[in-house]
């Protein structure tokens, strides 16, 4: 198989490149295979760098909008005045080397302007520090966590949820063609897919999906999130901060994630696969749980 120029992404798949490898089955064979790109994105807020996000290139504005809210850097999307991605795409093959370097630097930098009095640049570290300090505790003290309570009255039918894993799997183009990515899908109460985002980081995929909705004025308090990976405390706190009422995964949550979800009103579902699911916290939002005596 002939290899395209290694600097160019595969057109239909997006941010991937080609890599020469040697496979062994009954004999050795040299091949060119697609590989995912992973690059740092420098986030500057009001002229100061506040984070470097390792991510799959693409949907940078969505990623940063979601990150700012889900990490508590700003309390409301309305506090953000501007999100400017300084560049995008890969350079053309005939561009000079210095131009290529400029393009690379540019697409890995994003600038945000927010209302100065609303900015809390220490929020992310505060949450990480508090959670780590409390990992050995039996109970989570709400006073130690700067998180709101999820008050959405949203409810969804269990039968609707049972079809979401297949829908997400069918929409995972990068995972199917290349592998190595996490997926996050947002659904409405009817089980309709709102958006699916893939990234090398599951946290990034959540932020991209959230940001997609924020930039398009799509409400989050009546949506369901389905993730391809484990639900850790970071995933739970992100959902709580932006007011998402139901967080699901095809995998398992951690014990601390369940504890935080229970304390702050988040419905948490694991092992949502085929005709199965396990509800860990706030089952009242899922129609059918009580009727089934706690088993779905």
Torsion of CA 168, 21, 107, 82, to 10 degrees: 20
Please check whether residue 236 is in contact with residue 269, taking contact to mean a CB–CB distance below 8 angstroms: no
Gap between the Cα atoms of 184 and 189, Å rounded: 16
181 exposure class (CB count in 10 Å sphere: 0-12, 13-18, 19+): buried
Catalytic residue selected from 68, 86, 135, 213:
135
Is 135 among the residues known to form the active site?
A: yes
Select from 153, 226, 221 the least CA-distant residue to 193: 226
* Structural tokens at position 179: 């592998």
CA Rg, the chain, in Å? 21
Catalogue the active-site residues. Answer: 135
């Amino acid at each position: 198989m002939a290899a395209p120029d290694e600097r160019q992404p595969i057109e239909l798949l997006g941010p991937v490149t080609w890599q020469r490898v040697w496979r062994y089955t009954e004999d050795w064979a040299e091949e060119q295979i697609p590989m995912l790109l992973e690059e740092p994105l420098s986030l500057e807020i009001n002229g100061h760098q506040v984070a470097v996000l390792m991510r799959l290139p693409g949907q940078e504005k969505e990623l940063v909008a979601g990150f700012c809210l889900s990490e508590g850097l700003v309390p409301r999307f309305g506090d953000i005045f501007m999100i400017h991605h300084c560049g995008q795409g890969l350079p053309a093959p005939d561009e000079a080397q210095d131009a290529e370097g400029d393009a690379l630097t540019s697409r890995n930098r994003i600038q945000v302007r927010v209302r100065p009095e609303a900015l809390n640049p220490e929020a992310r570290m505060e949450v990480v520090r508090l959670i780590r300090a409390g990992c050995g505790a039996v109970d989570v003290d709400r006073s130690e966590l700067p998180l709101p309570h999820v008050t959405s009255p949203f409810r969804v039918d269990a039968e609707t949820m049972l079809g979401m894993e297949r829908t997400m799997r069918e929409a995972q183009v990068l995972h199917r063609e290349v592998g190595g990515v996490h997926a996050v899908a947002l659904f409405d109460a009817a089980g309709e897919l709102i958006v699916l985002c893939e990234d090398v980081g599951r946290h990034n995929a959540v932020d991209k999906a959230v940001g997609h909705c924020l930039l398009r004025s799509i409400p989050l308090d009546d949506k369901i999130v389905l993730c391809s990976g484990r639900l850790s405390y970071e995933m739970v706190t992100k959902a709580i901060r932006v007011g998402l009422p139901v967080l699901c995964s095809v995998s398992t949550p951690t014990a601390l994630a369940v504890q935080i979800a229970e304390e702050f009103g988040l419905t948490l579902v694991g092992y949502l696969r085929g005709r199965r699911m396990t509800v860990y916290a706030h089952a009242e939002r899922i129609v059918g749980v009580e009727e089934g005596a706690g088993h779905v």
